Structure 1
Amino acid sequence: MKSIKNIVLATLLAVGLVAAATQVHAQGQEAAIRKNLADRLPQMGKIDEVTRTPMPGLYEIRIGMDVYYTDAEGNFVIHGQLIDAKAQRNLTEERTEKLMAIDFAALPLKDAFPIVRGNGKRKVALFEDPNCGYCKRFERDLQKVDNVTIYMFLYPILGPDSDAKSRNLWCAKDKGKAWLDYMVRDQGIAAASCDTAAVSRNVEFGRKYKITGTPTMIFTNGTRVPGAIAAADVEKLLADIKQ
């Protein structure tokens, strides 16, 4: 019995040593990748994360929300799609979608104004520019979606006039009404003044999370949908989320 225990203990020790050695080796490779790429390609910027991919000898490097691939020494860099042909999965696309997801609970809702329809139980965030033609068409179609609370983030990225309109809208006495009057009913925007720092923060937030176009919707499960989609598709996405 004692010999069996000794064998088990020796086996566990060996496994532990192998695991520790593997970890040290992995840390060494990561350090080499970080150092070599920083020396050779400083314009890439600071590497946030290095992870081994399912492809032997290939490592993923993440810089912000951008994904690249390299070898264990950082001698070569690939910017493209990694596809698992056997499983028929686009690993780069899956990884990017995960990185681009936004935690709904982390959204700065104080910098948005709510538009409530029906019981308002379902929730979605929406980034829009008042001068975006796609947004205007989308807003008209979105009127068909009921029982929802839309957190509207003014996101002026189309120029100075968009910024001016967004600031007047933010300072309106009834922000939701002023927004819909302009976007859906083609009414003008009254000049108004107040603290408009929220509009600037929205632009900063969008840049951080690479919201590059409007409209962009964010659902409570973190799903991000860029571009105008049909009201029926919005309904389907909301129905797929347990809220």
Structure 2
Amino acid sequence: MTRRFRIGAASLAMATAALLSVSTTISASEAQTIRAALAKVLPDAKPTSVQPTPIDGLFQVEIGPQVMYMTGDGRYLIDGAIVDLETRENLAEKAQNEARQRVVDALGKDQMIVFEAPNAKHEITVFTDIDCGYCRKLHQQIEGYAEEGISVRYLFYPRTGVDTPSYDKAVSVWCADDQQAAMTDAKNGKPVDSQACNNPVQRHMELGELMGIRGTPAIILENGQMVPGFVEPKRLVQVLEQS
């Protein structure tokens, strides 16, 4: 399997409720066949959506932020570009972006650290690592993003993993009385008081894993498109307006 299909039961429960919604144009037998075939290769996977595609006999299957395609007989699974040659639209990419954004939005802002722009026109979600150089560079421009009307929603993705210094810093920032000030201090290399509390850091990491994030910062645009790396404010607002 490709990297997109690394699925664990805990991650799926976090990402979205494991409910199968079947379009009225897909038969019950086809839905059951697809579910049964998928269960053989991905026993922990619970489809959150099975929908028909413009291609007869091919169905779009979503598992949280992941999208794949299966034939109605459950024999073939397709992972890759599906392009409408008339419109030149990549149907798979569009579906993947939409699924990614739905799951990110489902977390809710109360599970993020948010830097709101005063006159917000756009909103991005950034998977960040406090000790990542380019993550720090991005945060140093936080006022620049605000000036461009871009609100920044942070999710934590300490690349060194759970129970490491980077992870502990993320937890301490989350548990701080003033999360924004603590985030800024940590990004500037200043010490943050060690704290512990109920926090979503590991859930953020699991979501990032499901999305296949390999590095930070990883920026999720409003349409669900993922942009890897640092993008300066004026360039980013152009990207947002073109997306």
Match of residue 158 from structure 2: 156
- 1:154 Cα deviation from its structure 2 partner: 3.6
| 8 Å CA contact 2:115, 2:180 repeated in 1 | yes
| 8 Å CA contact 2:97, 2:223 repeated in 1 | no
> Residue 195 and residue 86 in structure 1: after superposition, are their counterparts in 2 closer, same or farther (change >3 A)?
same
Query: Which has the higher mean CA deviation after the structures are superposed, 98-107 or 232-241?
Result: 232-241
Kindly indicate which of the two structures has a greater share of residues assigned to helix: 1
Match of residue 17 from structure 2: none
| 8 Å CA contact 1:168, 1:190 repeated in 2 | yes
Match of residue 32 from structure 1: 33
Residues 1-243 of structure 1 correspond to what in structure 2 (within 5 A)? 26-35=27-36, 37-38=37-38, 41=41, 43=43, 45-102=45-102, 106-115=106-115, 119=118, 121-122=120-121, 123-147=123-147, 149-159=151-161, 160-183=164-187, 186-204=188-206, 206-207=208-209, 213-218=215-220, 221=222, 223-227=224-228, 228-236=230-238
| CA distance in 1: counterparts of 2:26 and 2:176, whole angstroms | 60
| 8 Å CA contact 2:57, 2:71 repeated in 1 | yes
> Residue 216 and residue 24 in structure 1: after superposition, are their counterparts in 2 closer, same or farther (change >3 A)?
closer
Task: Kindly provide the amino acid, as one letter, of the partner of residue 232 in structure 1.
Answer: K
| CA distance in 2: counterparts of 1:205 and 1:130, whole angstroms | 17
> Residue 102 and residue 218 in structure 1: after superposition, are their counterparts in 2 closer, same or farther (change >3 A)?
farther
| CA distance in 2: counterparts of 1:144 and 1:28, whole angstroms | 54
| 8 Å CA contact 1:168, 1:189 repeated in 2 | no
| CA distance in 1: counterparts of 2:139 and 2:64, whole angstroms | 31
SS of match in other structure, 1:50: strand
| 8 Å CA contact 1:132, 1:214 repeated in 2 | yes
> Residue 164 and residue 46 in structure 1: after superposition, are their counterparts in 2 closer, same or farther (change >3 A)?
closer
| CA distance in 1: counterparts of 2:33 and 2:102, whole angstroms | 31
| 8 Å CA contact 1:155, 1:202 repeated in 2 | yes
| 8 Å CA contact 1:154, 1:202 repeated in 2 | yes
- The percentage of aligned residue pairs carrying the same residue is 22
Deviation sequence 1:107-138 (CA, Å, 0-9, x none) = 43334344456x35455443311022221222
Match of residue 9 from structure 1: none
Deviation sequence 1:62-99 (CA, Å, 0-9, x none) = 34433333333223333222211222221111111111
Larger Rg: 1
Structure 1 segments unaligned to the other structure (5+ residues): 1-22
SS of match in other structure, 2:57: coil
> Residue 38 and residue 236 in structure 1: after superposition, are their counterparts in 2 closer, same or farther (change >3 A)?
closer
| 8 Å CA contact 2:26, 2:52 repeated in 1 | no
> Residue 55 and residue 214 in structure 1: after superposition, are their counterparts in 2 closer, same or farther (change >3 A)?
same
Task: Kindly provide the amino acid, as one letter, of the partner of residue 176 in structure 1.
Answer: Q
The answer to which structure, 1 or 2, has the higher relative contact order (CA under 8 A, 6+ apart) is 2
| 8 Å CA contact 2:113, 2:153 repeated in 1 | yes
Task: Kindly provide the amino acid, as one letter, of the partner of residue 175 in structure 1.
Answer: Q
| CA distance in 1: counterparts of 2:68 and 2:179, whole angstroms | 42
| CA distance in 2: counterparts of 1:203 and 1:42, whole angstroms | 21
